[in-house]
Chain A
Amino acid sequence: MDAENKSGPELRPHVYDGIQEYDQRLPNWWLFTLYITIVFFIGYWVAYYQFKLIETDETRLNRAIAAIDAARLKQLEAVDDARLWAMSQDPQVVERGKATFMTACVACHGPDLMGKKNNPALPGPSLADQEWKFGHQPTEVLKLVRKGSPDVTKGMPPWEPVLGVSRVIDVTAFILSHHKEGEPFTVAPDAPGTVTKS
């Protein structure tokens, strides 16, 4: 073997478990991948750490969140009282809102929207009468559906995180379809800001 190896590659002196290895040159393509990583490292180090040319994950994340918020806000800004009243006349919107209502809101406000007025076992107030506790304007109703009741002891949770902006708007339109623009309204006796005589 030794005489035969004279012309071949050099055998390294170390031995592990009887295994020896030759001192061979690495393939050029293999070395080339090493050189590429070195070049990449320098380029990346200069661009990312020194001149901050590449966005960090944090700024990318914040930008994505801002974009989502902006889209949400834009959708909400397009909605004012007049627009909500108009939507309450659109059968397609009302149908969508009804589907959501019958899944989500029905638990407390009942399928007839009358809440505890018709069925005392239900915890939710009526949405089909003219008595309002947190404002009768469509945008005020929308805000209540989105953000939940300011009175946290009553149990109306914020629905925008669960349903999303579109469905919250649809549900509000469905509620408004049980009302008429300009109809008379009363303020609930336990509404905030109402002074109860002691």
Chain B
Amino acid sequence: MSARPKPTLESVTTISADGSRPFLHPADVQGRLSAWRRWTALVLLAVYVLLPWIPIKGYPAVFLNVMERRFHFFGITLATQDLWLFFFLISGAAFGLFYVASLFGRVWCGWTCPYTVFLEHVYRRVERWIEGDAPARRLLDAAPWSLAKVLKRALKHGIFLVLSALIAHVFLSYFVSIKQLYAWMQGPPSQHLFAFGAVVFLTGALYFAFSWFREQFCIILCPYGRLQSALTDDNTVVIGYDKKRGEPRGKVGTAGAGDCVDCLRCVQVCPTGIDIRNGLQLECIGCSACVDACNDIMAKVGRPAGLVRYSSLNALSGGRTRYIRPRTIAYTVLAVLGLAAFGLSLTTLKPMRVLAKRMPGAPFFTGDGVVRNQFTFRLINKRHEASSYRLDLVQAPEGMRMMGAEDPVKVPPLGEVEKPVIVTIPQSQYTGKTQITILIREQRDRGMAITQKVEFLGPDLRFFQNKPSPPSS
């Protein structure tokens, strides 16, 4: 225990003065908040693992099919062209996160961040199971290499590697589907080098992060953590130590001492190695382990719980927490705006898309007494079933005809077809370039319709009108 430095405000506990990294072994903690945290983590883990397995309308619940550029979310299929609406989803979600941070600090980090969920509720559980509780792990770290130590370490790191590979495979399945993943897993890696490389890289990264890097990520690298000081204020509910109640510290029975018995339980259970009694610090990920630890001790010494608790700096210094303040109102408005815009844009999505373009070659043709334009319509079917489309010329000058689309065009599910059509008008009725409108209708009940405007081109009229009339002289 002597090697364990006393946490201070000046330095990070897990970085020594010589730059080395004291490895933390947080003590086990039990309590109401820890139990809730474990349940939350289990639900999140189940969601993460199960989503690719649940079929909805023939596709996994979440399937980001990057190879075919179709993105499936709970039965809604988006094409690459629809990705603009993610701007609103992401900005809305980001401001939602800001909103939560301004109200409750790093509650995301301590309770729901995937990094925390994997680290605290998967990897640390395995470590606890194999190497024992915190003092036992510290002893094992210090012990010289023996057969038992080698076996324990090999087993632990073996399981860590398997877990990392599992998480990496689940991650890949979000992009290629379980079916494709299973097919690949049965073939040699040379047939899918990129996917194999991605899984190997991810496995290595996860193994490194959760076996060694751990809290360093939350303290030093995570951008959300770095944003905290800009998002929180004195009214933000964080994990706080009630100085007025706790100080001065002293053993039970010391005259004039506050409620804190200086047992250091809050320091021992902290996954980032801080002393919460030093006040709010950038290392605190809001996991509330110290709250449960302190409540446990307070119950043992017969004092009221809540010496360390969720509270704001204002409330801890005797004031009241103001939940409604300009910051939270602004974040709420921005979050609601973003999510509302996302919801609205989702309703404007059409199950089809049409792209009209002029066929390559000359812009127009003349002959047989007509002026002719050639177009291709790229019909993109975004439904999960085959669809037929009718193309009709609406709003066109007298005498104009469209040919090639007499029959409805069949497009396979989530497929696309290039449909060439030709539009002609007799020379005598041609009065110059004009815009024409083509109506594309889905052949089904309550089918979608899209109008597409194209430019009908022809020769210069002065040159053209002289031609049919015989020479005057």
Could you list which residues of chain A lie within 8 angstroms of chain B, going by C-beta atoms? Answer: 5, 8-9, 22, 24-31, 102-104, 106-108, 116, 120-123, 148, 152-155, 157-158, 161-163
Contact = CB atoms under 8 A, between A and B. Distances in A.
Given A8-B11, A155-B362, A157-B374, A107 B19 contact: no
B215 to A, nearest CB: 12
Given A26-B19, A104-B419, A152-B362, 11 more contacts: A9-B11, A22-B10, A25-B18, A27-B15, A27-B216, A28-B21, A104-B420, A121-B424, A123-B367, A152-B361, A161-B360
13 contacts: A24-B15, A27-B19, A27-B220, A28-B19, A28-B21, A107-B420, A107-B421, A107-B422, A122-B403, A123-B365, A155-B361, A155-B372, A157-B374
Shortest 6 CB-CB contacts between residues of A and residues of B: A107-B404, A28-B19, A25-B19, A155-B365, A8-B10, A157-B361
Contacts of A8: 8, 10-11
A155 B419 contact: no
A103 B359 contact: no
B17 interface: yes
Nearest to A158: B360
A131 to B, nearest CB: 17
Nearest to B213: A29
Contact of B21 (A27, A102, A108, A148): A27
A6 B126 CA distance: 42
Given A25-B18, A27-B19, A153 B11 contact: no
A26 B409 CA distance: 66
Nearest to A22: B10
A29 B362 CA distance: 64
Given A8-B10, A108-B404, A123 B421 contact: no
Contact of B20 (A28, A102, A153): A28
* Interface residues on chain B, size class: 35 or more
A108 B373 CA distance: 11
Interface-centre pick from A123, A154, A161 (highest chain B CB count, 10 A): A123
B376 interface: yes
B10 A5 contact: yes
A158 B18 CA distance: 71
Given A155-B362, A155-B374, A9 B17 contact: yes
A158 B417 CA distance: 17
A157 B361 CA distance: 6
A162 B418 contact: yes
